[in-house]
Amino acid sequence: MDSAREQGLWKRGVLWLLLLGPLFFASYGFANWFTGQREDVGSLVFAWEPQIPLWPWTIVPYWSIDLLYGLSFLLPACRREMDRHALRLLAAQVICVACFLLWPLRFTFERPPLDGTFGLMFDVLMGFDKPFNQAPSLHITLLVIIWAMFANHIRGLFWRGLLHGWMALIGISVLTTWQHHFIDLPTGALAGFFCLWLLPLQGDTPLKQIRLASDPRRWRLALRYGLGATLCAVLAVKLGGAWLWLFWPAASLALVALNYQLFGAGGFQKQANGRLSPAATTLLAPYLLGAWINSRLWTFRKPAPSQIVEGIDLGRLPAMGDLGGYAALVDLCAELPLQHTPQNYCSLPSLDLVAPDALTCQRAAEAIENLRHKGPVLVCCALGYSRSATAVAAWLLHSGRCQGVDAAVALIRQARPQVVLGPQHLAALQSMVDAQPGLEVAHAG
């Protein structure tokens, strides 16, 4: 575990437990009671689920999440991490209980009487747990959050293997104790990863990044992704069965739509190592797959980067083995992860199909200028046609190699004819120049 820890954190953890514990039993109990009074509670069971065995011994890992819940408050190394962890658990409670009240489902299997210690543990469980609170499984939602906290602090191959094995067993136990139907598991996992995304341990919560988009193009893209999410959700509801998995791409596209409309590039949570956060990767997985395939199809005929000037190349986001010969990388892509990060790396996440603003252009120009002294630099985005081309044009202006926006764009198009730089890109570049009077003169001399 981490050695550098703030002193006295256990007291803060106890206070959080004193708040969350009663809230858990009060809200969960109320949802059980309220749903038990209703006559419109349905169920969602797949035809193969009666084949799931009842393993009484798995009540032990099932119950163990309560112990791990409390122990997880001993792990945070600082006040921020403690509070974010507690707020994640609080968000999980609010989300799941709200779903139980809005869309109640009932567990339909009748568990036979059980004897011995395991039977006693089941009896205690059923004293406060009723078969009404199903999707999303609060047990799975909490498991995702607790698992993430332990994974951040447990070190050593053996202990990490034990951790992941036991956590996976807890996940399986919700089925083998006949506590949940299958639909509750993926929906619970989705809710858990949403809590992780909403309250990251590093960086601001997306709620602090909310800025209503003023660019009409962002609104149009948000609308398209929103329509895609709606279509997937409608198909899932209408077709049922295995088509219910379409709720995953529905959630993925809905989150992308919100990124364009509200959260901006920060909603993709691309980190300093070039990868997206685990939560964003999971939530956005269907979209990420489509975006990666799209990037490869568009660049199929010209996968190699293009040299703009000596030492500065422009291209698509490189795959694992495509970084040979480059000492540094400037990455403008927000939505795709980088599989291998070079030692000299700068990430300036920008939304796809949207022109970077003047500030991003300036930062990109400065990053390229600083990194080019390390050796050959690759400037990239998903295709290497727009965002990264804007960044290279910004550097050409910043360094004085070109005396105007038109000249910079012409030089780039000569080397890479496929680039797409529209009026918004040119306006952003001109705004960068206008914001720094004498820029061209200073660098040209």
- Using one digit for the tens of pLDDT, what is the confidence trace for 105-131? 878 888 888 888 888 888 888 777 777
Considering 151, 180, 200, which residue would you say is the last residue of a domain? 200
- Rounded to a whole number of angstroms, the CA Rg of the chain reads 26
Task: Name the stretches of the chain with pLDDT < 70.
Answer: 1-4, 132, 437-445
- Using one digit for the tens of pLDDT, what is the confidence trace for 348-397? 999 999 999 999 999 999 999 999 999 999 999 999 999 999 999 999 99
Hey, is 43 helix, strand or coil?
A: coil
Q: How many domains does the chain have?
A: 2
Q: Are residues 196 and 64 in the same domain?
A: yes
Q: What is the CATH number of the domain that holds 341?
A: 3.90.190.10
Dist CA 66 CA 143 (whole Å): 10
H-helix or E-strand spanning residue 141: helix 138-153
Dist CA 48 CA 8 (whole Å): 51
Q: Which of 333, 346, 381, 402 is catalytic?
A: 381
Annotated catalytic residue 381: yes
Q: Are residues 77 and 185 in the same domain?
A: yes
User: CB under 8 Å to 389, separation ≥6 — which residues?
Assistant: 314, 412, 416, 419, 420, 421, 425
Q: Cα–Cα–Cα angle for 22, 78, 343, nearest 5°?
A: 135
**Which of 75, 103, 81 has its CA nearest to residue 10?**
75
Residue 42 domain-assigned (yes or no): no
In whole angstroms, how far apart are CA 439 and each of 59, 397, 444?
69, 8, 8
Dist CA 13 CA 149 (whole Å): 14
**Which of 278, 56, 276, 23 has its CA nearest to residue 176?**
56
Residue 152: both structure tokens together: 């951040």
Q: What is the pLDDT of residue 438?
A: 58
Hey, is 372 helix, strand or coil?
A: helix
Considering 151, 170, 200, which residue would you say is the last residue of a domain? 200
Residue 164 domain-assigned (yes or no): yes
H-helix or E-strand spanning residue 347: strand 344-350
**Is the omega angle on the peptide bond into residue 278 within 30 degrees of 0, that is, cis?**
no
Q: What is the pLDDT of residue 362?
A: 96
| 316 bridge partner residues | 381
Considering 158, 173, 200, which residue would you say is the last residue of a domain? 200
Q: Cα–Cα–Cα angle for 191, 192, 197, nearest 5°?
A: 95
What's the order of all strands across the beta sheet hosting 344-350?
Answer: 306-309, 312-316, 377-381, 328-333, 344-350
- What are the backbone angles phi and psi of residue 144, rounded to the nearest 5°? -60, -45
Q: Are residues 195 and 89 in the same domain?
A: yes
Total Cβ atoms within 10 A of residue 293: 10
Residue 251 domain-assigned (yes or no): no
Domain that holds residue 191: 8-36+47-200
Residue 91: both structure tokens together: 């968000």
Q: What is the pLDDT of residue 441?
A: 38
Q: What is the pLDDT of residue 4?
A: 67
Q: What is the pLDDT of residue 437?
A: 65
Structural contact between residues 377 and 327, judged by C-beta atoms closer than 8 angstroms:
yes
